[in-house]
Homo-oligomer: A and B are copies of this chain.
Amino acid sequence: MSHLEYFKNRHTIRKYQSQEISKEKLDEMLAAAFHAPNTGNMQWYSVVVTCDENKKQELAPAHFNQPSVTGAAAVLTFCIDLNRFEHWCKINNAQPGFNNFQSFIAGIIDTSIVAQQFCTIAELSGFGTCYLGTTAYNAPLIAEILKLPKRVVPVITVTVGLPLETEPQGATTRIPAQAIIHYEQYQHPTDEDIRSYYKQIEEESHKFVVENAKETLAQVFTDVRYPKESAEHFSKIYQEFIKENEF
């Protein structure tokens, strides 16, 4: 299989075999991932690896008890980490000026990049991975459980393990690439364009419209999966947490 085939067919894996991953294997894959590009080679990130069963149980509620947490061989929490770099600055007679939004943005981009590099490496090594978007919801609780110091902010959680055979194979449907790629300047879609972009996903996901007694798939997203009130609630928590961490 050419590398392009892997990228076109990859799939999130939420259920895993009970087999552990050795520390050596995790370290090897993470060390390779740390060669991903990052801002100014400052590596403003840390990864907390949870293998201990009790710790996974402790983390689970922070991720709304999604079963991939306790079912994974390892749970990796990728964090923005300014603590380490600023420590280095302070013992080297340098005054860090990273208490600002741009440093937060650089940190979140670099943390996301390194998490994705790890996922690619893990998947190419035969493991399955799953991102949990809940990390930015319950960051204060996660920080407490993982004993994060100030200036360390959880951003992304990845669960990893050997895939159960019953897990789905092959690519999830995406909207057409031409909906996303704009040559030279942004191409404004018409209503007709938009309808055609989402046609296949609407057809394939029709059961969710029925199950949730909604009129359209879009309503499943806005009313059920990502309701405004919940997003606003967790926005406030994350913004306050970032502020407490001096970003």
Binding site for B on A (CB under 8 A): 3-4, 7-10, 12, 23, 26-37, 39-43, 45-52, 55, 81, 84, 87-89, 91-98, 100-103, 105-106, 108-109, 112-113, 115-117, 119-121, 124-125, 129-131, 133, 136-137, 146-149, 152, 155-156, 171-175, 177-186, 188-189, 191, 194-195, 197-198, 201, 215-219, 221-223, 225-229, 231-232, 234-235, 238-239
Which residues of B have CB within 8 Å of A28?
4
Verify B112–A116 contact, CB threshold 8 A. yes
Contact (A98, B186) CB under 8 Å given A136-B105, A180-B43: no
Per assembly, the copies of the chain total 2
Which residues of B have CB within 8 Å of A40?
133, 221, 225-226
Q: How far apart are the CA atoms of A179 and B183 in the complex, in Å? A: 42
Q: Apart from A87-B191, A146-B185, what 18 extra A-B contacts exist at CB < 8 Å? A: A10-B35, A26-B181, A30-B180, A34-B180, A35-B174, A46-B180, A52-B184, A55-B185, A84-B197, A88-B197, A91-B191, A92-B216, A93-B216, A93-B218, A93-B219, A97-B232, A105-B155, A113-B115
Which residues of B have CB within 8 Å of A189?
84, 87
Q: How far apart are the CA atoms of A88 and B33 in the complex, in Å? A: 36
Verify B7–A32 contact, CB threshold 8 A. yes
Q: Identify 28 residue pairs between A and B in the complex whose beta-carbon atoms are under 8 Å apart, listed by A's number.
A: A3-B121, A4-B29, A12-B37, A30-B181, A31-B177, A37-B116, A41-B201, A50-B184, A88-B194, A91-B191, A92-B219, A93-B216, A93-B218, A94-B223, A95-B228, A98-B226, A100-B235, A102-B136, A102-B137, A102-B234, A105-B136, A105-B238, A106-B133, A109-B112, A109-B133, A113-B115, A117-B120, A146-B186
Which residues of B have CB within 8 Å of A94?
216, 218-219, 221-223
Which residues of B have CB within 8 Å of A219?
92-94
Which residues of B have CB within 8 Å of A50?
184
Verify A35–B172 contact, CB threshold 8 A. yes
Which residues of B have CB within 8 Å of A98?
226, 228, 231
Q: How far apart are the CA atoms of A86 and B171 in the complex, in Å? A: 24
Q: How far apart are the CA atoms of A198 and B106 in the complex, in Å? A: 20
Please name the 8 residue pairs, one residue from A and one from B, whose CB atoms are nearest each other, closest first.
A97-B228, A112-B112, A92-B218, A94-B218, A31-B177, A101-B235, A92-B216, A7-B32
